[in-house]
Amino acid sequence: MNGHAHSKTDGLTSTEAAERLKSYGPNDLDDPKLQRTFLAVVWEEVQEPMMVLLLILGTLYSLWGNVVDTLTIFVTVCLLVSVEVVTEYNAKSSLDKLHGSIAHNIAVLRDKKLTILRSDYLVPGDIFFLSRGQKLPCDAQVVESVGLAVDESLLSGESSAVSKFVPVAGSSEDKEAEVDQCYAMTNVVSGRGTFLATNTGLTTRYAHLRALSHKRFRQKDRKTPIQKLMKRVTYILTWNAAAVSLLVLLLSYFVVGTTWQASILTAMSLAFATIPEELPLIVKAVMAVGARKMADHGALVRRLRAADSLGAVEVLVTDKTGTLTRGIGMDLRSAVLIAAGDFVGAHDAATAAAQTNGVANPNPIKAIYPASTTPLVPSDVERIALFLSTWALSTGLLDATAGDSHSLHEMDVFDAAILAYLDTDSGRLPVYRDALASAIAEFPKPVAEMPFNPTTRISGRCRSARTEQAVRVAVVLKGSPETVIAHCTRAIGPRKAGASPGATPDTVELTSEARAAALGFFHEAANTGQVIAYAMRTFEVPDEPASDDAGLFESKDCTFVGGFLFHDPVLPSAADTVAKLREAGVRVVMATGDGEGTAVAVASETGILLGPAVTGTVVSGQELARVLADAATAEDKDFKDELAAVYYRASPENKYDLVTALQKAGHVVGMVGDGANDGPALAQADVGVAVGGGTNRTDVAMDSASLVLLSPEGGIAGLVDCIQEGRRMHDNVRKTVIFYLGCKSAIIILFIVALVTIRKLPLNPVHVVILEMFMDVGASATFPVEPAEGHVLRRPPSKSTDGVFGWHAILTMVYACLALFGVVGGAFVAGLLALEHDPSADPRLPVSMAFMAWLIGHVVLGLSCRTQVEPLRIHGYFTNRRFGLWAVAVFGSGVTVTVIPGVHDALGLAELSWAWIGIIWAVALVLILVPGEVSKEILWRKMQGPVVRANGGPNRGENGGHHVDERTPLLA
């Protein structure tokens, strides 16, 4: 522990800060020069292989074809580039904005007052304060530190945390090691510090290194499973499409007898239409739209893998404080103290029995309710006053009283609850004020601090006072009852009979029986709240203790003072959210550092624990470690089978190991937390959810998470909507793939069948290019925004890759392909038959019929693909406005080029009558839409009622057993 300090400064005034902000600019680490511009995206899209192929096709048309076809192709190129650029740019812009949309708040000293500011308002010269779990917002010099260690692996690659402190004057070694220099984007992993901002924005070391490498240091999105799958599928289908195009070229030249120029144009246009180059972009567009929709509801997607995995989450591990409970604004319920005369051994048995009417008191603990309206007896008031003086030594209140705003900022939610009590009528007693004042006077000098350790669950402070003979030292420990009591050999006991008011009570021996009884009481008390215990040790030494003397806090000879019982209310939305998650098939598990009683009480109130706690449903962190070790040796054993509902006294390592074990068993895991101790598990989980709406959130949790909830209701409110959105994205990817590949397969079959059987081209090359444009726009612009179907939260979770190429999807795709081929091929044959019946008819009639049939048929197919299970009459025919606009544009274009006189000649098409168009619509509806809607009606009727249950509900196992109805919708 380091406690060296430079001379204090008062920071900047608001006027000085405003001037420096104008001079230096905002503290923004993102260099605009490194951002992809709109023109850069345009250039990238123009260089895409398919665009290059289309440009070559247009050039060849200008040499071998007519001017109208050439212009049509180049206009199509411009339209496709525009659509893809807008889609790509919007997707990337949305995700980039979400990456930077979480502002970190910093405690800054301005105008000699503590002020909370956004980190981008920091300027050089600012004094700011950080503690464990926060990120350095800029380059800074350490002004004061207590146990400060910083993770600089982002910049240096060194995995070990680096201690930071103010070097001793004249120490060249410390100066060379830069022990007082900290850099932007590094994390405080322990302790706390006061910092002087030196470099901000693009002048920081992070910004300099990033500019040299032209790479983002922040974690990049790994390709999601669905993106990897689409990339593999695109690669395979591209080679297949190239082979088919070569086959069409040969058939066109050798079988049909077209010129080699026309055969090449046909093959190239077919390659353009059948290579599925849009699939990866469509998947990205679907996830970007989903991320944007979640942002509108207060959920920020920071990594695409979260959007991809949300719909697949099977197990959700959640912390308690700040996620299920309020976490801030706790209430002080009672002070838990040693009751007078209760410890047999401190006095003889006869005296103890006499003090309790002849019966020894079996309960050595006394709960006093200081916030009660019932007047307290004087002895209780004095005991609380003594306790408050001990509490004051355990916080930064003394320093804050002396003018140190940082210490006031550092007080946790428990200290804030005590301060709130002291500001009430029952808390403004002179004896309490005198107790705090005496503590300030008795031990005025801070010596050392042991920051809270989430593993040991204890913190400590040391203060001193110099007398003429020696240095008096007070060490106060604060933490969980079992940890604090383990450091104690005695406890504050009864005051001697006849002792003067204010006299210090005697201490009594803390026997094994007393320890067990005390811990039992605290365990019971935890059923109604959270207990924070306190212990104290005072001693004298000749000289001032060293600030880095670890032995100050390791002594087991402390005196137990008592505990405060706090109430952290459960959030109103928590129970409803847990119930909805259970109905969606998501198993919810609590992993908290709190004690068993507190954990069980909250789990029962929120519905995570159903029924009484029995063996196996409530497990300690130590037992979890043992179970995980056993599971690791049994390779064929699914750890989920032994998953408990509640894990108490769970360390950060326990949470991380729990998430990892579930993932190794093949499960998709979500983790919810808001503290620095949740960071490792948040980063490891498939979906790390940081609750960012509260003031107690930490930068480490926010940066480790892939999804941040900013719901005004707090906690996990809004998580159900996120999971619904995740499942909607999965569905929309499947729908897009079925539509997209169904259309491409149909056009391949159309050409091959027509060339082999009829020996005629069903469409001209320019027609294929136009149809491909409409198909790409329909797939990339309409399906990503399709609303969710009504059953998405009543079915089991599924991975984004599940069902995309499963047999249900393949059967649906095959039917879509054959039905569309039937409509278009039938129209082409009908045109040929019409020519035979009336030789005077326009010879271009069959091609015109096929062209219009394709436009109408793929619109009807798109309409059918909008839902997988929910009938369109329930889902709504007009709920997707983009689809409606696209359908109108497609049909309107078809009418324009086949009905309006003169226009059809430019594209080599015959004029179509409205009768023919009506027949094509009727055939398309009967062959494509009607069979699909009939099958959906059957499936929908079977799905009525709950189909998914987890953690209980109808057909549930006892105490949160997990049962899932395995019925899966046909097309899901």
Q: Last residue of a domain, which of 567, 582, 616?
A: 567
Q: How far is CA 341 from CA 362, 423, 899, in A?
A: 11, 32, 103
Percent of the chain with pLDDT over 90: 21
CB crowding 598-613: b at 16 or more within 10 Å, else e: bbbbbbbbbbbbbeeb
613 contact partners, CB below 8 Å, separation of at least 6: 600, 604, 646, 959
Write down the pLDDT at residue 295: 77
Same domain, 146 and 277: no
Band (219; pLDDT cuts 50, 70, 90): very low
829: in domain: yes
What are 532's strand-pairing partners?
564
Query: How many domains are there within the chain?
Result: 4
Same domain, 756 and 807: yes
- DSSP H helical segments within 397-553, as ranges? 397-401, 405-410, 413-422, 430-442, 481-486, 512-525
964: in domain: no
Query: Is-contact 827 917, C-beta < 8 A?
Result: no
Helix-, strand-, coil-residue percentages of the chain, each rounded to 5: 50, 15, 35
386: in domain: yes
Higher-scoring residue by pLDDT: 859, 189: 859
d(CA 634, CA 631) in angstroms, rounded, equals 5
Write down the pLDDT at residue 350: 33
In the predicted structure, residue 721 carries a pLDDT above the cut 70? yes
Phi and psi, residue 341, nearest 5°? 70, 20
Write down the pLDDT at residue 45: 59
Same domain, 455 and 592: no
Q: How far is CA 373 from CA 369, 413, 416, in A?
A: 9, 24, 21
In the predicted structure, residue 959 carries a pLDDT above the cut 60? no
CB crowding 160-197: b at 16 or more within 10 Å, else e: ebbbbbbbeeeeeebeeeebbbbbbbbbbbbbbbbbbb
- Write out the two tokens for 261: 């120029």
- Of 2, 99, 241, nearest in space to 772 by CA: 241
Same domain, 276 and 193: no
Write down the pLDDT at residue 834: 92
Write down the pLDDT at residue 890: 94
User: pTM (2 decimals)?
Assistant: 0.73
Same domain, 151 and 18: yes
Q: How far is CA 934 from CA 732, 734, 858, in A?
A: 21, 20, 19
DSSP string, 877-919: TTS-HHHHHHHHHHHHHHHHHHTSTTHHHHTT-----HHHHHH
358: in domain: no
Same domain, 58 and 32: yes
- pLDDT by residue (tens digit) across 309-336? 888 899 999 998 888 888 766 777 777 7
Same domain, 278 and 386: no
- Identify which of 569-578, 607-616, 791-800, 918-927 has the greatest average pLDDT: 918-927
Same domain, 700 and 787: no
Question: Taking residues 421-431, what's their average pLDDT?
Answer: 78
Q: Last residue of a domain, which of 550, 567, 584?
A: 567
- Write out the two tokens for 245: 């195009």
Same domain, 755 and 659: no
Q: Which residue has the tokens 């849009």?
A: 278
What CATH code is carried by the domain that includes residue 136? Answer: 2.70.150.10
d(CA 88, CA 282) in angstroms, rounded, equals 9
| Burial of residue 642 (number of CB atoms within 10 Å: 0-12, 13-18, 19+) | middle
357: in domain: no
- pLDDT by residue (tens digit) across 536-561? 999 999 988 887 777 889 888 999 98
| Burial of residue 813 (number of CB atoms within 10 Å: 0-12, 13-18, 19+) | buried
131: in domain: yes
Write down the pLDDT at residue 195: 92
Question: Taking residues 374-388, what's their average pLDDT?
Answer: 71
Q: Last residue of a domain, which of 567, 596, 614?
A: 567
Q: Which residue range forms the structural domain that includes residue 551?
A: 331-352+378-399+411-567
Higher-scoring residue by pLDDT: 364, 367: 367
In the predicted structure, residue 929 carries a pLDDT above the cut 90? yes
What are 193's strand-pairing partners?
130, 145
d(CA 75, CA 96) in angstroms, rounded, equals 31
Average pLDDT, the chain: 77
What CATH code is carried by the domain that includes residue 550? Answer: 3.40.1110.10
Same domain, 522 and 483: yes
Same domain, 797 and 687: no
- Write out the two tokens for 425: 């009528």
- Of 270, 274, 287, nearest in space to 234 by CA: 274
506: in domain: yes
What are 139's strand-pairing partners?
199
Same domain, 289 and 308: no
In the predicted structure, residue 954 carries a pLDDT above the cut 50? no
In the predicted structure, residue 14 carries a pLDDT above the cut 60? yes
d(CA 443, CA 540) in angstroms, rounded, equals 12
- pLDDT by residue (tens digit) across 775-800? 888 887 888 889 999 888 888 887 76
In the Cβ-directed half-sphere of 770, how many Cα atoms lie within 13 Å?
22
Percent of the chain with pLDDT over 70: 73
969: in domain: no
